[in-house]
Amino acid sequence: GTLTEMVHIPGRLFSVNTSTTNSVPGLFARNERVCCLFDTEAGPMALVLVGAIFVSSIETVWHGVVTPPTHTSVRNWQYSDNAPTLKIGEEMGRFNMGSTIIVLFGKDKIGWDSGFKAGGQVRLGEKIGTVAAERL
């Protein structure tokens, strides 16, 4: 897909594990986030990289480090000219210690693989489903 916008939202750095996600209300909306919005063959898609305790930084392949500790206000980047484009499965960024990514597609735009379970770990490059464009 083609990146259209990236937003860095400063926030808390709660641990992201089963215990805290069950006990901290709105944890994923309260922790620091980098939201990346893409236009894809299956329609709009968002990847939300959620920071957590012990995550030293969040980095993207087109920008580098997005979350230096000195920024405390929301920052926004628009990509109308020379927008980065990524192929399915290509690296878009990383946590420099690990954390959580939330993937958002439109309704009925993705079919989850039967082996993919809520709460499970996902490794880089591991397939978790297919988008509608692949299923046509």
SS3 134: helix
21 in any annotated domain: yes
Query: What gap in Å lies between CA 4 and CA 80, rounded to an integer?
Result: 6
Structure tokens at 115: 């082996």
**Domains identified in the chain, total number:** 1
Over 60: is that where the pLDDT of 135 sits?
no
Identify residue 122 by its one-letter amino acid code: V
CB atoms near residue 105 (< 10 Å) = 16
For residue 26, the model assigns a pLDDT of 93
Among 74, 83, 88, 64, residue whose Cα is nearest residue 32: 74
Cross-strand pairs, 31: 12
117 in any annotated domain: no
pTM for this model (two decimals)? 0.76
116 in any annotated domain: no
135 in any annotated domain: no
Range of the domain at 46: 2-108
Average pLDDT over residues 91-118: 83
Query: What gap in Å lies between CA 135 and CA 26, rounded to an integer?
Result: 34
93 in any annotated domain: yes
The rounded mean pLDDT for the chain is 85
